[in-house]
Chain A
Amino acid sequence: MRVTATMPALAAILLSSAVLVVIGCGQSGTPSPKETDLKPAATNLSDKKDPRKLLADWPTEPGSGFEGALIISGQMIGYHEPCGCSASQKGGLVRRATFVEMLRERGWNLGLIDLGSLGQDEGKSRGGPTQTRLKYGTTLRAMQMMGYGALGLSVDDLKLGTGETMMQLENTLSEDATSLKAVAANVTPTPGLGFESKIRPSVQISIGSTRVGVTAVIDPAAFAALQDADKDALITVQAPELALPSVLADLEKATTFQVLMVQGPAEMARSLAEQFPGFDLIVATSAYTDAVVAPDVLNKGKTWLVSVGRKGMNLGVIGLYPGTQEPMRYKRVELNENLDPLRSMAQNVYSLIGDDFQKLLKETDVLGTFPKRPYALFDTPTDATYVGAESCKQCHPNTFSKWANTKHALAYAPLINDPRDDGRNREHDAACISCHTTGFEYAGGFVSLERTPQLKGNQCENCHGPGSRHSAEPDDLALRRAVKRTSDDFDRNHRCISCHDEDNDPKFDFAKYWPQVIHNKLDDYSSPAVHKGLTPATAAATP
């Protein structure tokens, strides 16, 4: 083989090209585009701790092409505060607002959109129906304060009652053209009822000089399954495939970047992305709490599909660099405690979510109107009511003493002065009260400190059931059996986890904690007095 003068040069070019390819592959900084690949890039610890370094590596200098960012949230499902009362939980509207204000302070142009599903399913909410509705309205107000432009209408939110949701939107959202609007391309409000102006097929948001068009659809099958006798008289839902062509065509005329939020199964989002490749960005629902690490790239790179997780723990941020080689960037931002030192930036949202909302719960008497259900567990008579631990003490003094030295007995105190929350009072918050008092969800249980002071804290009857019948007739063996509990009763049916759950006590271990509360045979029942029983009058007279 003859080596010519050009060969070394060719070899050098090929080798250099290979090097450039290697560098090029690595420099995007974006992990695999597949959602299923969760291998995140290693990040510097100092960046994680200092929120001011979030997104600091994005080029924003003049000439970089940076127009601003689109902030995407969704599926908050009632978690307007961090997800539970244990330490180090993520999320919350205050942190979200802090992050947004921090970016605004940098001079970034922002557009804010939310996929919807703001409220928690009432069936899963400890707060009950009234608190769930109040929280929805408060969240709408917080989103207006933050400067949101679009909120996807969702069947999850219509579970408040289609009429209730529509009228809350009607009465809360401002008429100002640039303020928050509910968006749904395939939902038509019934004309004449007044709320038709608050549900738009699409909205347009300016981010720098980029005009962003945002639309959304809801899943007709989910709407059909919604239990609400009034729904069909108030709104009409059509197939997304029928509604989107004209909406997209309008947006393509007036905007340069089009976003579709899909309130339906993730497969529906993917299918619509493929059917309507004109959209630059698709926001899909997620079954997971965290946002995707990297967008799913569809339609030969034209469309990105993202989901931003559940419970409001994360935000998705899309950086806009129109006309450059990399017109979009994506970053998942975790709303964690590192943002808390900057909270003063979001003082208005902090006051609304913390102080105003708690005041609203008190004024509305959420506790007093909470729908109580009969205690229907074990063989407890359904007419039994709660008597309080002081009554139990009359015959079970040693058991009472053991309980009185547990955290269960002291469970009410953090509601008066929450040490992890600037000493905020949460005595009127049904979601908190339900696990810090006795029998709150049940007929005859805790109502409020004023009305039922004898039932504050986690007392005997939370585990044993309402004890009025047993305390009145202590020698009735059937009634005794009805209040008797074994470890198997709790471990097998996982009753402790109704409060010691994933959000509020993620490390709860029944086997570890059971020995701390067990109280077998601590008392002596030889005295005739303990067999007499407590009448309601004597029970009430106990201190």
Chain B
Amino acid sequence: MTRWILLIVGVVLVSAAIPVLLSLPPSEVNGNGVAFPTGSVGGSKPAGKVYLKGEPTYNFGRHAIHWKGEQKFTIKNVGDAPLKLLPGSKSCMCTVANFENGERDFTVPPGESTEITLTFNTKDAGKFDQRASVQTSDPDQPEIFFSIRGEVFPALVTNPDPPVFDFGSIPNDKPTEGRMALTSYDHTDLKILESIPSNPQQVGLEIKPLSDEEKSHLKYQDGYRLDVRVLPSPELGTFAETITVKTDHPSESELVIQVRGKRTGAIVIFPEVVRAQTTSSRGANLSAVMSVRDQADTTFEVVNQPQGVEVSVSKAEDANTDSKVTRYRLALKIPPGTPAGLISGDVVLKTNHPSVQQVRVPLSATIDAEE
């Protein structure tokens, strides 16, 4: 009999422990076991208690850009004292509407519910995942996190996105082409009204409907293929042009395609600027690569170099060189012991190439006194 009494007492104690353990906030629980909360548990002191109806996450799905979303979450106070709610943290684009008019907090009486409204304003295309929280006076749940997610697509959808062609270094004596696709998810019968290149002598655009194969590949229902062409020009150096495409899209009618790059002659050098940060005791071994077109053997003579920098040029025996391009390696040595300071200047090389008399390689190196 004693055994039965002990068993019943044991079962009662264990059963009573289950809800207590289940009510522990996760932050009080760690991998090494259960830490009992420091505050009161189980109602010895009156407290507001949060009951969240439904999930604290909501997926808005897909929408056009600049759409404004709103989602309500219901919190019920199932405690025996008023439940105080205060603003918590939030992501950049998420707003807890309840606190937008300067309210510092509000109270939910026992047994009553309130709605927390999250609003979301989309400005950037792409997937979004935003969070906001509300702090509460519930000792078991001091902060409730809400999250919303979804995807926003632009009015005019391009591939590549954004509509920018950065052609890098291109030859100045040949045309260079790039291809882009344009469609709209929310205006499927998109029409292109006109296209205006900023400088028709420099850039051009050809517009065609996408082929079935292209549509299938891009997963577009319909759309256009835009072939951008940079035309040959005697001018060397950077260029930046635009092609404005006017459409009949009701919310965003213009697409401005940026076209830029650098027209080079027969010798292309990278990096654009050789940079280093080192110490006086270490010095530095730096390098650049020069790709030379239209001549198999080019000579380079150093005619200028920043003071204290040793310069040498060697032909790179790279395996992938095609027959039209020869590569050279420019080695720049800042010897150990070079005084601290800034080395800034151009390495100037004279060449025997028929179309490039000399090349400049900017060097900028900061030499620190010590580690």
Is A502 engaged at the interface, CB distance under 8 Å to the other chain? yes
- Asked whether, in the complex, the Cβ of A42 is within 8 Å of the Cβ of B144, the reply is yes
Please report the C-alpha to C-alpha distance between residue A89 and residue B90 in the assembled complex, in whole angstroms: 10
The number of chain B residues touching the other chain, given as a range, is: 35 or more
Q: Does B193 contact A (CB under 8 A)?
A: no
Given A287-B126, A288-B129, A503-B92, check contact A163 B271 (CB 8 Å). yes
Task: List the A residue with the shortest CB-CB distance to B170.
Answer: A229
| B32, A164: Cβ atoms closer than 8 Å | no
Please give the number of chain A residues whose Cβ is less than 8 angstroms from any Cβ of chain B in the complex: 97
- Which residues of B sit under 8 angstroms from A122, Cβ to Cβ? 164, 166
Chain A 174-187, CB-CB to B under 8 Å as 1, else 0, gives 00000000000000
Report Cα–Cα, A541/B135, bound state, in Å.
60
Nearest CB in chain B to that of A124: its residue: B162
Kindly provide the distance from the CB of B60 to the nearest chain A CB, expressed in whole angstroms.
Answer: 13
Which residues of chain B (20-42) have a CB below 8 Å from chain A? 21-22, 24-27, 29-34
State the majority secondary structure of interface residues on B.
Answer: strand
Residue contact B29 to A29, C-beta cutoff 8 Å: yes
Tell me whether B313 is interfacial, beta carbon within 8 Å.
Answer: no
Specify which of B57, B170, B198 is in contact with A38 (CB 8 Å cutoff). B57
Q: What is the bound-complex CA distance between A225 and B277, given in angstroms?
A: 33
Flag whether A376 is at the interface (Cβ < 8 A).
yes
A477 within 8 A of B: no
Task: Verify A27–B31 contact, CB threshold 8 A.
Answer: yes
Contacts of B24 on A, CB cut-off 8 Å?
26
- B32: chain A residues within 8 A (beta carbon): 59, 64
Min CB gap B30→A, angstroms: 5
- With A123-B164, A288-B128 known to touch, is A130 a contact of B258 (CB < 8 Å)? no
Residue of B with least CB distance to A194? B287
Known: A44-B142, A129-B166, A164-B270. A19 touches B18 (CB 8 A): yes
A45-B142, A122-B164, A373-B242 known; A493-B320 Cβ under 8 A: no
Report A24-43 CB contacts with B as 1/0, cut-off 8 Å.
Answer: 00111100000001111111
Closest CB of chain A to B23's CB: distance in Å? 10
**Contact: B124 with A39, CB < 8 Å?**
no
Chain B residues within 8 Å of A190, by CB: 318-320
0/1 interface trace, chain B 239-253, chain A, CB 8 Å (1 if under): 111111000000111
Minimum CB–CB distance for A269 against chain B, Å: 16
Question: Is the beta-carbon distance between A59 and B329 smaller than 8 angstroms?
Answer: no
A512 to nearest B CB, angstroms? 12
B11 touching A11, Cβ below 8 Å: yes
In this complex, what residue of A is CB-closest to B198?
A374
Please tell me if the beta carbons of A159 and B166 are within 8 angstroms of each other in the complex. Answer: yes
User: Given contacts A27-B34, A123-B166, A227-B166, are A377 and B254 in contact (CB under 8 A)?
Assistant: yes
Asked if B272 contacts A133 (CB within 8 A), the reply is: yes
Among B2-10, B104-112, B301-309, B352-360, the stretch that binds chain A is B2-10
Q: Is the CB of B251 within 8 A of A371?
A: no
> Do A29 and B11 form a contact, CB below 8 Å, given A193-B327, A287-B126, A382-B198?
no
- CB of B66 closer than 8 Å to a CB of A: yes
Q: Which residues of A contact B288 (CB under 8 A)?
A: 167
Closest to B8 in A: A8
B364 adjacent to chain A (CB < 8 Å)? yes
Do A26 and B272 have beta carbons less than 8 Å apart?
Answer: no
Q: Is A191 located at the chain interface by the 8 A CB criterion?
A: yes
Across-interface contacts of A57 in B (CB, < 8 A): 27, 30
Q: Is B67 an interface residue (CB 8 A)?
A: no
When A15-B14, A59-B32, A190-B319 are in contact, do A45 and B291 touch as well, CB less than 8 Å? no
Known: A137-B275, A171-B275. A502 touches B123 (CB 8 A): yes
Give complex CA distance A19, B329 in Å: 71
A107 at the interface (CB under 8 A from B): no
Instruction: Let me know if B321 and A23 touch, CB within 8 A.
Output: no
Complex alpha-carbon distance, A234 and B271, angstroms = 13
Say yes or no: is B369 at the interface (Cβ < 8 Å to chain A): no
Residues B317 and A192 in contact, CB atoms below 8 Å apart = yes
Task: Please tell me if B199 contacts chain A, counting CB pairs below 8 Å.
Answer: yes
- For the complex, is A168 an interface residue (Cβ under 8 Å from B)? yes
A27 near B251: Cβ-Cβ < 8 Å: no
Q: Which residue on B lies nearest to A132, using beta carbons?
A: B166
A163 x B289 contact (CB < 8 A): yes
Contact in complex: B198, A290 (CB < 8 Å) = no
Is B350 at the interface (CB under 8 A from chain A)?
no
Chain B residue contacts of A494, Cβ below 8 A? 65-66, 252
- Give the distance in Å from the alpha carbon of A38 to the alpha carbon of B168 in the complex: 41
Residues in B neighbouring A15, C-beta threshold 8 A: 11, 14-15
* A47 cross-chain contacts in B, Cβ below 8 A: 27
Residue A236 lies at the interface, judged by CB distance under 8 Å to chain B: yes
Residue A363 is within 8 A (CB to CB) of chain B in the complex = yes
Whether, in the assembled complex, A473 has its beta carbon less than 8 Å from a beta carbon of chain B, the answer is: no
User: Is B240's CB under 8 angstroms from A373's CB?
Assistant: yes
Q: Are B164 and A234 in contact (CB under 8 A)?
A: no
Which residues from B are CB-within-8-Å of A373?
198, 240-242, 258, 260
CB distance from A131 to the nearest CB of B (A): 12
Q: Contact mask B129-155 → A, CB, 8 Å, 1/0?
A: 101000100000111110101000000
Is the CB–CB distance between A22 and B18 below 8 Å?
yes
Closest CB-CB distance, B315 to chain A, in whole Å?
9
Q: What 1/0 flags go to A488-528 for Cβ under 8 Å of B? A: 00001110010001110011110000000000000000000
Interface string of A380-403 (1 = CB under 8 A from B): 001000000000000000000000
**B286 CB-CB contact with A under 8 Å:** yes
* Nearest Cβ on chain A to B330's Cβ, whole angstroms: 10
B256 and A42 within 8 A (CB): no
Check A407 for interface membership: any CB of B closer than 8 A: no
The answer for the CA separation of A172 and B284 in the assembled complex, in Å, is 10
Query: Bound complex: CA of A225 vs CA of B198, how far in Å?
Result: 26
Which of A27, A38, A233, A493 is the one whose CB lies under 8 Å from B129?
Answer: A38
Contact A171 B170 (CB under 8 A): no
B51 at the interface (CB under 8 A from A): no
A233 with B162, Cβ < 8 A, contacts A89-B92, A373-B240 known? no
Residue contact B30 to A167, C-beta cutoff 8 Å: no
- How far is the CB of B140 from the nearest CB of chain A, in Å? 8
| A329 at the binding interface (Cβ < 8 Å) | yes
Task: Please give the residue numbers on chain B whose beta carbons come within 8 Å of chain A beta carbons, in ascending order.
Answer: 3-4, 7, 10-11, 14-15, 17-18, 21-22, 24-27, 29-34, 55-57, 65-66, 88-89, 91-93, 95, 121, 123-124, 126-129, 131, 135, 141-145, 147, 149, 160, 162-170, 178, 196, 198-199, 238-244, 251-254, 256, 258, 260, 268, 270-277, 284, 286-289, 291, 316-322, 325, 327, 329, 344, 364
Binding site for B on A (CB under 8 A): 5, 8-9, 11-12, 15-16, 19, 22-23, 26-29, 37-45, 47-48, 57-59, 64, 83-84, 86, 88-90, 121-124, 129-130, 133-134, 137, 141, 159, 161, 163-164, 166-168, 170-172, 190-194, 225, 227-230, 232-234, 236, 287-290, 326, 329, 336, 363-364, 369, 371-374, 376-377, 382, 492-494, 497, 501-503, 506-509
Given A38-B57, A45-B143, A228-B168, list of 18 further CB < 8 A pairs?
Answer: A27-B29, A29-B26, A90-B92, A137-B275, A161-B168, A163-B271, A190-B320, A194-B287, A227-B167, A227-B168, A230-B270, A371-B238, A374-B198, A377-B254, A494-B66, A501-B123, A507-B121, A509-B121
A–B complex contacts, Cβ < 8 Å, 5 sampled? A123-B164, A129-B260, A167-B270, A172-B275, A373-B240
10 tightest A-B CB contacts, nearest first: A123-B164, A163-B270, A41-B26, A371-B240, A192-B318, A374-B198, A288-B129, A287-B127, A373-B240, A167-B271
